[in-house]
Amino acid sequence: MADEVWRLGVQGLLEAYQRGATDPLEVVGCLLDRIHKINPNINAIVTLHEEAVLKEAAAKKEAISKGDPLGPLHGIPVLIKDNIFTKGMLTTFGSKLYKDFVPSEDAVLVERLKAAGAIVLGKTNLPEFGLIPVTDNALFGPTSNPWDLARVSGGSSGGSAAAVASFLAPAAIGNDGGGSIRIPASLCGVVGLKPQFGRIPTYPRLPGWETMNHEGPITRSVEDACLLMDVLTGQDERDRFSIQSFEGSFLDALAVGIEGRRVAYAPSLGYTVVDEEIEEITRKAALRLEERGAKVEEVQIDWPNLEADLTIKVLSDTLAAMEGVWAKWESLMYPLYKTFLPIGEMMTAKDVARVQFHREDLWERVWCLFEEYDLLLCPTTAVSAFPKADMGPMGPEAINGEPVSPFAWIGFTYPFNFTGQPAASIPCGLTKDGLPVGLQVVSRRFDERSVLSACHCLESIFSLKTSMPRGLQAGAVVK
């Protein structure tokens, strides 16, 4: 089994440990070998402490052999996005400004993973400070999409999604301020969950994005996402926005199903433009929930477009947070940032205040929809993974042959950062070019379990959760 353990997800590894079919040391060793072969061409993982990780894996193996009490994620290797604090492990935020920063404490979620017995395998790539939806930076360079190495992996949790899709780890943690878990999950063909705002505490962290950021898991199955959520969620006083978790288990939600649930499918949110092939694939996928007893209806939505508000939020928060180190950072930053960050200097206090007003306007429309429907389904992204060489300032410059704004291709994700609702991306098909398509599933506030239950039903319909990405099938690895 040693040569195949890298194929196992979280649940698969836990069952294999229980049977004695493998052990954490064998698994970590196998994954490290695979990382050395594949990661140089993917560039998903940017930091590894191999000696320390192998030592920890050996200790986990010994604990199993002794019959010691084990945590729910004992011996499970997990990757952490490189803007999440990891004690004693380099945390760069994808920035040359922090190229030598080693935190003295773990983030709350890392504390919880370790307490549950998980092994922090390494750190994953992101755009500098997570500011754009494509993973590239001046410190480590771009992360490739494992389905086609010439294409983008998305962002900002692009390293996490690409690593999980490449079978370099069974799970990874990302965060999402405008779609940063769901976008790369969609483009890389994996499961990405943005929980309810505050469900997973965020502490410590750099300033900015305080009411937009959500921590969450990226996995190859919905079941594995539930296993991580059972460990990661719950209130912590260090994060004043953190909220309590559910009684019981997220995993239990998968047995509930969605029979009788009212589901809305929206090919547009009113202002969004979507590639015709993506629309067709996601519509067909949504309608197949009727096979599980859901009542699916296509709806026409006309919500306000908060793309400008997202831009204002990104620029104003970043400029304020970096004010004291701007002179030093300006000479080190990702070159693209020099073209758009200075625009923030022209913004006024009124511009920033209007973001909150528009946020309220959006919520007025959103809650009305969920008065009638239990779930909303729509495309996760307006396009599939696009070639790096064709990238505009932050994404494709045209969709369906029509010119679009920089954030138009992520227009389906950021509304739910403004509202804070749970939302996930689940693989639902492949384009004619063999690229993954993600279907976004959104629920009412605080109802991750309905999102996960619907995703589990979709997962039972589509068989993409264990697919080997085409780019790796083609032998595009370092031997």
Residues tagged active-site? 81, 156, 180
Burial 285-323 (b: 16+ CB within 10 A, else e): bbbbbeebebebeebebebbbbbebbbbbbbbbbbeebe
Sign of the alpha-carbon dihedral angle for 200, 95, 393, 157: negative
Q: Beta-carbon neighbour count of residue 457 at 10 Å? A: 24
- Using alpha carbons only, give the angle 254, 258, 262 rounded to the nearest 5 degrees: 145
Question: Which residue do the tokens 């619907």 mark?
Answer: 454
Give the residue among 192, 79, 167, 28 at the shortest CA–CA distance from 473: 167
Answer whether 81's CB lies under 8 Å from 200's CB.
no
Answer whether 108's CB lies under 8 Å from 236's CB.
yes
Question: Which residue do the tokens 């639902």 mark?
Answer: 428
If 0-12 CB within 10 Å is exposed, 13-18 middle and 19+ buried, where does residue 377 land? Answer: buried
Cα(105)–Cα(422) distance, rounded to whole angstroms? 28
The two tokens of residue 210 are 């305080």
Alpha helices, H only, 233-383: 276-287, 307-321, 326-330, 337-340, 349-372
Cα(438)–Cα(218) distance, rounded to whole angstroms? 13
The two tokens of residue 365 are 């429309």
Residue 479's contacts (CB-CB under 8 Å, 6 or more residues apart) are 37
Answer whether 229's CB lies under 8 Å from 184's CB.
no
